[in-house]
């Protein structure tokens, strides 16, 4: 799955440009390689004061790299290589110049249904591919969905992703909030209640991301984080629906994602939903 003309066999020589964003771990820069290609480079400075912490951070990044390097799909960001130099880990990735869906929404407002369906289909295809490869993303949201200028969607930021065999339970809600960087708006009830985090939790997050693309904000964005966390966790109130201006199919799709884990369809099943299968 080599990006055209990229070199993974030797050290990538590059010049650092502007900051593209801050991810789950580290800062992402635009880079220009010695071959004249634009790339995205995620850099994480390891804690040089504490070897134990540094080792943990390095292992975490190694896990992310191991996940990324085995993935090859049109809707997953391409991986180009990695280096460790002067206690800084660099992960080299395909550059996606369109920016995130979150930034697209800021620039253009909520998406019209045709575009919404096009993007949703591709997000689902990426997620279904991950799930088929026993990977759960665990941090799907508009900020981690990127857009190529051609309209191709790329999922990024595998800093929270896990192989299904490696899942560990976090200790409490405050830890949980830290681990997903204080964005409970896209989190499934079972993640908040710690009753089992799996592929279906990503499907819930897909529903929240579609809601975000349709309205400009995720569900419950009018609530503060803790209120939203408890609301979703309690599930006493149902999740809001997308506006009536969207088709019955679009509304039904979001509702199907934002339902109880047992009834919630898989990403693969949702690929046959009339909202995206046209």
Phi/psi at 43 (5° precision)? -115, 135
Q: Which of 139, 157, 244, 260 is catalytic?
A: 139
Query: Catalytic annotation on 139?
Result: yes
Contact at 8 Å (CB) between 94 and 154?
A: yes
Tokens of 242: 């997308």
Instruction: Look up tokens 């991301």; give the residue.
Output: 209
Kindly tell me the sign of the dihedral angle through the C-alpha atoms of 244, 247, 252, 253: negative
Q: Can you tell me whether residue 171 is helix, strand or coil? A: coil
Residue with tokens 């635009």: 30
> Any known ligand binding at 42?
yes
Cβ atoms of 100 and 146 within 8 Å: the answer is yes
Q: Give the whole-angstrom CA distance, residue 123 versus residue 111.
A: 15
Burial of 181 (0-12, 13-18, 19+ CB in 10 A): middle
Binding-site residues from annotation for ATP: 42
Residues designated catalytic: 139
Binding-site residues from annotation: 42
């Amino acid at each position: 799955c080599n990006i055209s003309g990229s070199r993974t066999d030797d050290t990538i020589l590059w010049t650092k440009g502007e900051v593209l964003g801050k991810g789950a771990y580290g800062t992402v820069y635009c880079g220009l390689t010695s071959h004249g290609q634009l790339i995205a480079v995620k850099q994480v400075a390891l804690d040089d004061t504490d070897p134990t912490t540094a080792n943990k951070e390095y292992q975490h990044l190694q896990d992310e790299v191991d996940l990324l390097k085995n993935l090859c799909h049109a809707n997953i960001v391409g991986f180009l290589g990695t280096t460790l130099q002067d206690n800084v880990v660099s992960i080299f990735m395909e550059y996606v110049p369109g920016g995130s869906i979150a930034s697209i929404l800021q620039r253009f407002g909520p998406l019209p249904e045709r575009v919404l369906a096009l993007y949703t289909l591709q997000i689902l295809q990426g997620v279904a591919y991950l799930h088929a490869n026993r990977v759960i993303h665990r941090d799907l949201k508009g900020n981690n969905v990127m857009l190529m200028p051609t309209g191709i969607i790329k999922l990024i930021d595998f800093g929270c992703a896990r192989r299904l065999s490696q899942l560990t339970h976090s200790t409490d809600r405050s830890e949980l909030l830290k681990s997903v960087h204080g964005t409970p708006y896209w989190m499934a009830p079972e993640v908040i209640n710690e009753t089992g985090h799996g592929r279906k939790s990503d499907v819930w997050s897909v529903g929240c991301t579609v809601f975000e693309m349709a309205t400009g904000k995720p569900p419950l964005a009018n609530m503060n984080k803790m209120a939203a966390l408890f609301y979703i966790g309690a599930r006493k109130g149902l999740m809001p629906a997308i506006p009536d201006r969207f088709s019955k199919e679009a509304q039904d799709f979001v509702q199907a994602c934002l339902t109880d884990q047992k009834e919630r369809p898989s990403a693969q099943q949702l690929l046959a939903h009339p909202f995206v299968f046209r």
